[in-house]
Amino acid sequence: MTLIDIKSLSYEKVLETVQDMGEKAFRGKQLYEWMHGKLAASYDEMTNLPKSFRDKLKEQTVYTSLDIVEVLTSRIDGTQKYLFRLADGHVIESVLMKYKHGNSVCVSSQVGCRMGCRFCASTLGGLNRNLTTGEILDQIYRIQVHSGERVSNVVIMGTGEPLDNYDNVLGFLHGISDEYGLNISQRNITLSTCGLVPRIHDLAGEHLQITLALSLHAPNDEKRRALMPIANKYELKDVLAACQEYYDKTGRRLTFEYSLVGGQNDSEEDAAQLNSLIHGMNCHVNLIPVNPIKERDFVQSNKKVIDKFKNKLEKYGINVTIRREMGRDIHGACGQLRQSYLESETT
Ligand code: SAH
């Protein structure tokens, strides 16, 4: 008998499953609320469920609950990095960032990544496996319980390419915004993708209210190919057309992420080309000074170059911000904590 992955199921599916077990539907509602509202770490916490029902659940299901391996807290800004161990022994990382407007969690969507972006630590070991819906949700649940902080914003910008794990990420988006769960507003959720064109079209058709962020990182196809292998598969004109469709269908302003890599994509000419590429789109550009990783020799653009790039875009009337570096003292960059953990295990 294969065990049911109960935390990955939608509200309706939980009710159905519970009735298939011979229980009343309201038990399903109670169970769903224990998992996704009260954030129980095990069935034993669900004290108002009859013991006989809990025993059935233990027999027929797996209950995902991530183990905290390590929590690092930044002395600079209070950012916390969580390293979690999954039931099969893999480790993943998530980040809690505290802003004036609320607490934001950055979740991982895969164990590793197969997209191969040259500057990114998450992709160094390739892809191990997709995360289940329950494993993506539980990153937020365990952080909320451990920190005692209410999470109001979510960014899917940790390890992995979310649109390469489409169904489970979609389940996550529905689960995290479910009225019987944490009920986080979809408007407070951002999904970042390197640009899987067919999946962006699919996402546009889901009629969600989440923000789509595209990892653009270059002003033309040639430069993009040098940084991101996925650019060999999809041309910028198709990627941007898919983003435009997302905007047309949802009305949500687009975010373009642009990691500035010293000497590669940070000249004033690059800024001018970038403007021609996206001018007229309802968008916002988020500049990220590249976080150098030791396995690659990319360097950060210097502060003056970054300011020049930003000013140039602003002159064209483009809405632009520079991403604040959070948790610089605790392996701030994407996938670096997990990477250093994996290295320490093998040495
Ligand atoms: N797979 C998704 C999520 C990745 S992480 C995507 O590609 O969008 C979120 C953002 O951080 C992406 O824009 C990614 O390209 C960027 N990023 C990854 N490593 C980085 C680094 N070392 N320095 C700066 N930005 C980085």
**Selection from 261, 325, 331 nearest residue 298 by Cα:** 261
Note whether 226 and 272 are same-domain residues.
yes
Which of these three, 26, 43, 62, is where a domain ends?
Answer: 62
Note whether 235 and 334 are same-domain residues.
yes
Note whether 102 and 48 are same-domain residues.
no
Note whether 81 and 27 are same-domain residues.
no
**Selection from 265, 248, 251 nearest residue 309 by Cα:** 265
Q: Is 93 a catalytic residue?
A: yes
Q: Which of 93, 135, 161, 257 is catalytic?
A: 93
Note whether 35 and 71 are same-domain residues.
no
Distance between Cα 175 and ligand 1 center (Å): 24
Q: Which of 190, 212, 257, 265 to mutate to test the pocket of ligand 1 (most atoms within 8 A of CB)?
A: 257
Cα gap 210→207, rounded to integer Å: 9
Q: What is the CATH number of the domain that holds 146?
A: 3.20.20.70
Q: What is the CATH number of the domain that holds 47?
A: 1.10.150.530
**The pLDDT value given to residue 159:** 97
**pLDDT, tens digit (0-9, with 9 covering 90-100), for 249-305:** 999 999 999 999 999 999 999 999 999 999 999 999 999 999 888 888 889 999 999
Note whether 113 and 191 are same-domain residues.
yes
Note whether 157 and 179 are same-domain residues.
yes
Q: Residue 21's domain spans which residues?
A: 4-62
Note whether 73 and 57 are same-domain residues.
no
5-24 mean pLDDT: 98
- Residue 152 host element (H or E): strand 151-156
Which of these three, 62, 79, 100, is where a domain ends?
Answer: 62
Q: How would residue 345 be classed by pLDDT, with cut points 50, 70 and 90?
A: low
Q: How would residue 343 be classed by pLDDT, with cut points 50, 70 and 90?
A: confident
Which of these three, 13, 38, 62, is where a domain ends?
Answer: 62
Note whether 173 and 72 are same-domain residues.
yes
In the chain, the number of structural domains is 2
Note whether 71 and 159 are same-domain residues.
yes
> Does the beta carbon of 231 sit less than 6 angstroms from any atom of ligand 1?
no
Question: DSSP label at 3?
Answer: P
Residue 129: pLDDT above 70? yes
Distance between Cα 69 and ligand 1 center (Å): 24
**Which residues 6+ apart lie within 8 Å of 299 measured at CB?**
261, 262, 263, 290, 292
Note whether 57 and 71 are same-domain residues.
no
Note whether 130 and 218 are same-domain residues.
yes
